[in-house]
Structure 1
Amino acid sequence: MDRTRITRKSFLKATGAGAAGAVLLGSSVAAGSRYQSYLPKGGSKMNVILVIIDSLRRDHVGAYGNRWIKTPNLDALAKESLVFSRPYPESLPTICARRAIHTGTRTWPFRNWHPVRGEGYMPWGWEPIPDGQTTLADVLKQNGFANALISDTDHLFKPFYNFHQGFDVFEWVRGQEKDHYKPAWTVSEKEMSKYLLKGNKFRVHDTIQQFLANTAGHRNETDWFAAKVFGGAADLLEGLREKQPFFLVVDNYDPHEPWAPPKKYVDLYDDSYHGPEPIEPDYGPSDYLTEAELKRMRALYSGETTHADRWLGHFLNKADELGVLDNSLLILLSDHGHCLGEHGYVGKPYNALYPELTDTVFLIRHPEGKGAGKKSDYYASTHDVAPTILSAMDISPPAQMQGTDLSPILEGGEPKEKRDHFTLGYDAYVWARDDRYLIHGRYDGTQMQLYDVKNDPDQRHDLAGKHPDIVRRMFRDYVLKDAGGPLPHYS
């Protein structure tokens, strides 16, 4: 059976790389190759590469319409992929989203949740993968895959969270954010003053001090976290190439705060700022920031995004050079976004379920070119990743996996589950949308806001007061129905 596949020299053609320092490939597409030609040597299944990028906003990626943030590698990858135009996390933040990715099971509505001892206050649903729950890595390992994960997300490496399940290699890039990697007391108050703004709270002080201690030795760009994660992943490919089929998870924390990319990336977006660097936001109202500080915060985030994109390109180039892109299903997604003042909030406040926080990136690249260059408005989500990968490998997903197999869309078909709406949860807050309207508010239906997303996609005009009937209907038919009844409450 003749098919078209994407050859190793067809990947990552993009423009505008010079200023961002991106590494890109040429472009050509060969046709008429045999289906069997892309299978790994000695195996009967494709490899799987899963890339997770933390806090990446959809509206900061060129492939999703942005015209001023430089993401040439993401944009090039999107041209070779099926692009989901309306992906959302089924729950957030970090751990909730990753539980869904690794288990294929919805975390929301957070029933029977118990806070993790010793972790301080965490959002509802922030807890380990339950003992005995099968993960995507478990299933692939049982089917002969060599599994590896590399990340700088420190929560993943706390043993009680169980994210190590099923992985042969579990590599931690140390020093990100609040990781107690180096003694924080080595950073003086004078040095701290360069990063503290009027109105910053003690939590920010603590985080910045630890981060500065961890990164004090950064000199060359290869010292930065995105370079270490994607560079380390590229190195792992050398060994994994000999162990095909393999499953590689590359979980990159940037552009999560603190934002401190190499200066050349920040200068792409703001090269005239003078003052303390707002690298760590106070989660909540943005009114403690001056206009100049808010502009600088956006530039720092944008610089982190471009920096991460540059090193994503490095990793993809290596995969191309080794020939494994010819043999691999690649999925790239983000877990959530980040508020940068657009609705009067910065950070990830629970009640700020606006596009800048909820709208994510989701791409699937198939080695045969299935779905390449096409878009789908299906409500793809984090808990769909595991069943999609397993189905693409001709492996039946375990019954626990509630997500939907998205692979039929690659063939021009439709998933079995018809989604005319979507819901998600974040701590005590819920969100729901359909093709016309979007609501968000508290778990009990109070403090609800309503937006006409067809005519007001940026959610500027709250219509809840004018249309309480629509709010009640959506909360009843979407939120309560998807949750299986009234939502739990935790004090």
Structure 2
Amino acid sequence: MTLSRRDFLLTASAAGASLAVADAALAQQPRINLSQTARRPDKPNVILIVIDTLRRDHLGVYGNGWMKTPALDQLGRQSLRFTRATPEAMPTIPARRSIHSGMRTFPFRNWERRAGNGSSVWGWQHIPDDQPTLAEQLEKAGYETMLVTDVPHEFTPGMNFSRGFKLVDWVRGQEGDPYRPYWSVDPFELQKFMWRDADGQALTTKYGNAPLARELRQYLANTQDRRAEDDRFAARVFRSAARALEGIPRDKPFFLTVDSFDPHEPWDAPRRYADAYDDPGYDEPEPVTPRYGSSDYLPERQLQRMRALYAGEITMTDTWLAFFLDRLHQMSLLDDTVILLTSDHGMALGEHGALGKPAYALWPEMTDTPLFIRHPNGTAAGEARDYFASTHDILPTILSFAGVEPRKETDGSDLSPHLDGKAGTVREHFTSGLNDYVWVSDKRFAMISRNDGSEAKLYDIAADPEQAKDLAGDKPQEVKRLFDLVLKDAGGEPLPHYDL
């Protein structure tokens, strides 16, 4: 299926000035058509796009009527999309462990917090050395392998997420990456982004005032030389990904992973993006990052602005995804390339009284993510499946497209049969987790609890899709049944507990 330039750059009628920025950048690039001078590979190329912190309910192709995401929506319409996709473990690193290894990270057994690994999140650790990564297996099968990303956690000392990639482009500076000296930023600059209560206490923080203030100050130091939108991280990642493909030999298949940290906070897209979802006259501090936990510390007006900032960051990311997809079209790569797109988790923005990614907030705003598979022949384009697809299914699915047999120990399932309307592996339920909280659903009910079964919340998702009414007290047998499914998926033994 050949996609036109207009399919992906929907110009002013869809996204206004935002796409015009990418369009201007595109105009500076030479026209490229490599397909006329080189033989096509005998195996499909594969592009895996991971967009961090992307809520499924913020995409028009999943039913949102107010977001401006034309590129994501168009890609979704050209793809088979999964409507029950949920990461098997969260957040950033646990999800990527399962993406690149095909193995479940949940229920976080044998986790060890290592000094300097940057996180106390359960399962936040490197891919075990005896688990071959997706890139390693594809490289062995003759693929050129490339990784372009700005996710700093993948490069923390001791991590090994670049295993198997011949080309690695790490776009430095996201979040707390110690890329530039943080002391180069005046600490008073932070006041532009922190709402204060009547006592003058700064409240817009992630885990506490001091840690986030340091992290935000580091981020400001990393980004203080930005001058234009194409200096933003999403622009740099997707432009670099396009450049990586411009000179690649066409007689050999390639595997490219494009892993964008945006729209992860801090949400600091050019102001016009947030203003598209809010009053342009807003003149209070910009809450570019939340304090993880209860949302009750923020006034409603600040919470409204935070939602607009998040939405704006998504639209900016979508703009540069459009740029990348258009470059693929110019290079005639869409005709022989499989594209998969997913996310690692969502983000709570005041729903259920939660902000950020606290472990207990495993409601749809956290668990529900997009998952697209675009086949170059247009197979199943525009169709949807309610299968419990997940992050650990990506490795066997991509290996299937490449004609590579995954090793028997792989936990994930090949999703490619769904393109032909075949169910493949049947999943009547699915489980996931974050730290000491678990989530389980069987399409009728969803349950959240501690990983020992306590503090359970139960929802009838058929009658109550927004999960507003907790039924745990009325249906204790359902709670027990669902928690038994958690234990079953965890190997039949009690889940581990770690004292931090």
Deviation at 1:490, TM superposition (A): 1.1
Question: Aligned to 1:161, what secondary structure does the other structure show?
Answer: coil
SS of aligned partner of 1:51: strand
Q: Is the 8 A contact 1:8 1:321 kept in 2?
A: no
Matched residue type, 2:150: D
Secondary structure at the counterpart of residue 373 of structure 1: coil
Matched, 1:471 2:479: yes
- Alignment pair present for 1:398 and 2:394: no
Is the Cα–Cα contact under 8 Å of residues 50 and 331 in structure 1 kept in the other structure? yes
Aligned to 1:92: 90
Give the match for residue 234 of structure 2. 226
Scaled by the length of structure 2, the TM-score of the pair is: 0.91
Aligned residues of 1:11 and 1:80 also touching (Cα < 8 A): no
Structure-1 separation of matches of 2:438 and 2:171: 33
Q: Which one-letter code corresponds to 1:244 in the other structure?
A: K
Deviation of 1:195 after TM superposition, in Å, equals 1.1
* Partner AA of 1:341 in structure 2: G
- In 2, Cα distance between equivalents of 1:231 and 1:435: 39
Q: Give yes or no for contact 1:195–1:208 (8 Å, CA) kept in 2.
A: no
- Secondary structure at 1:450 match in 2: strand
Which residue in the other structure is 1:430 paired with?
Answer: 438
Q: Secondary structure at the match of 2:158?
A: helix
Partner of 2:252 in structure 1? 244
Give the structure 1 partner of residue 8 of structure 2.
12
Pick from 297, 304, 317 the counterpart of residue 295 of structure 1: 304
Equivalent-residue separation in structure 2 for 1:371 and 1:245 (angstroms): 23
Letter in 1 for 2:488: K
Letter in 2 for 1:469: Q
1:454 aligns with 2:450: no
Which residue of structure 2 lines up, in the alignment, with residue 188 of structure 1?
A: 186
Q: State the Cα distance separating 1:242 from its structure 2 match.
A: 3.9
Corresponding pairs, count: 472
Compared CA separation, residues 190 and 13, structure 1 to 2 (3 A): closer
The 1:161–1:121 alpha-carbon spacing in structure 2 relative to 1, beyond 3 Å, is: closer
Task: Supply the distance in 2 between the matched residues of 1:186 and 1:465 (Cα, whole angstroms).
Answer: 54
1:399 positional shift: 1.7
1:115: Cα distance to partner? 1.1
Following superposition, the deviation at residue 160 of structure 1 comes to 1.9
Give the aligned partner of residue 172 of structure 1.
Answer: 170
Which residue is 1:33 aligned to? none
Deviation sequence 1:343-388 (CA, Å, 0-9, x none):
1111100001111111101000000111111011111100000000
The residue that corresponds to 1:480 in the other structure is 487
After superposition, residues 105-254 of structure 1 pair within 5 angstroms as 105-198=103-196, 199-200=203-204, 201-242=209-250, 244-254=252-262
Please say which of residues 359-368 and 270-279 is displaced more in the overlay. Answer: 270-279
Instruction: State the one-letter code of the partner of 1:44.
Output: D
Q: Measure the CA separation in 1 of the matches of 2:229 and 2:40.
A: 38
Alpha-carbon distance in structure 2 between the residues aligned to 1:129 and 1:352: 26
Instruction: Give the SS at the match of 1:108.
Output: coil
Cα drift, residue 10 of structure 1: 8.3
Distance in 2 of aligned mates of 1:392 and 1:120:
35
In the alignment, which of 371, 386, 397 is matched to residue 362 of structure 1? Answer: 371
Which runs of 5 or more residues in structure 2 are unaligned?
Answer: 24-34, 197-202
Once the two structures are TM-superposed, the CA of residue 414 in structure 1 deviates from its matched residue by 1.4
For residue 297 of structure 1, report the CA deviation from its aligned partner. Answer: 0.5
Give per-residue Cα distances to partners, 1:456-477, cap 9 Å, x unaligned: 111111000111111011111x
SS in structure 1 opposite 2:16?
Answer: helix
Q: Is the 8 A contact 2:9 2:19 kept in 1?
A: no
Equivalent residues of 1:54, 1:335 under 8 A apart: yes
Q: Deviations over 1:332-351 (max 9, x none)?
A: 00110001111111110000
Deviation at 1:190, TM superposition (A): 2.4
Letter in 2 for 1:12: F
Task: State the AA in 2 paired with 1:347.
Answer: G
Give the percent of matched residue pairs that are identical in Structure 1 and Structure 2.
Answer: 50
Q: Is the 8 A contact 1:8 1:325 kept in 2?
A: no
Matched residue type, 1:344: G
Residue 342, structure 1, aligned to residue 340, structure 2: no
Matched letter for residue 474 of structure 1: L
The one-letter code matched in structure 2 to 1:473 is R
Q: CA deviation at 1:189?
A: 2.6
Deviates more, 1:426-435 or 1:242-251: 242-251
User: Does residue 342 of structure 2 align to residue 333 of structure 1?
Assistant: yes
Aligned residues of 2:117 and 2:158 also touching (Cα < 8 A): no
Offset of residue 400 of structure 1: 2.4
Name the SS for the 1:301 alignment partner.
Answer: helix
**What is the distance in 1 between the residues matched to 2:9 and 2:445?**
37
Structure 2 partner of 1:317 = 326
Give the whole-Å Cα distance in 2 for the aligned partners of 1:244 and 1:173.
26
1:44-55 alignment, distance < 5 Å: 44-55=42-53
User: RMSD over aligned Cα, in angstroms?
Assistant: 1.7
* Map of 2:393 onto structure 1: 384
Compute the TM-score of the two structures, normalised by the length of structure 1. Answer: 0.93
Q: Which residue of 2 aligns with 1:72?
A: 70
For 2:264 and 2:191, the matched residues in 1 are separated by 22
